Structure 1
Amino acid sequence: MTITHQDVQRLFDTQLDEPVLILTEGRTLVVSAADVDDRYPGALTIGSKTGLVDEFGADGPSERERGEVAARWDTEVSQRGG
C-alpha cells in the first residue's frame, strides 16, 4: 500500500467532523472518526486532521511536508503489516 501526498491533502482539506485517514480493503479513505468502528470494522487508522494541524498549524503542511508525512505514514502502515 502506498500513502500519497494526495491522501494527506484530502485529509487536510475535508470538512468532515474529526476526520481521519484510514486503510480498509486495500484502499485509503477519509472519514469521520465516529464512523470508523461501525462502518469500517477492521480498518487501520493512519492519521488525523487534528494531528496535521497540531504538527503544521492551521495552514497545514506544505507540498514538501505532505510528501514527508505520506512517506512516514506509508512506512508505519508497512510496519504494521498493512
Structure 2
Amino acid sequence: MARKDPLSRAQEIEEQIKKLQEKQRKYIEQAQKEIGQYLMETWDIEDIEQAKLLIDEFKEEAKKYFNDEHNAEESNGQETSDQ
C-alpha cells in the first residue's frame, strides 16, 4: 500500500478542521438559540427589543454577580489548598 504524501495529508487535515469548525459554529448557534428562547419564555417576553433592553439593564449586575461568584470559588479553592 502506498503512503500518502505529506501535502495530501495536510490537505485532508485542513478539510477536517473546516468541518469541525462548521460543526462548532452550529453547536454555538443552537446553544444561543436555546438560551434566548429560555430567557424569553422565563421572563414572559414576546418582543425582541424589550428583551434586549432588559438584558442591557441587567448586564452589569450579571457581570458583577458572576465575578463575585468566581472570586468566591477561588477563595474557597485557596482555603482548601492552604489547609
Q: Tell which has more relative contact order, 1 or 2 (C-alpha 8 A, sep 6+).
A: 1
Query: TM-score by structure 1 length?
Result: 0.30
The structure with the largest alpha-carbon Rg is 2
Structure with the largest fraction of strand = 1
Query: TM-score by structure 2 length?
Result: 0.30
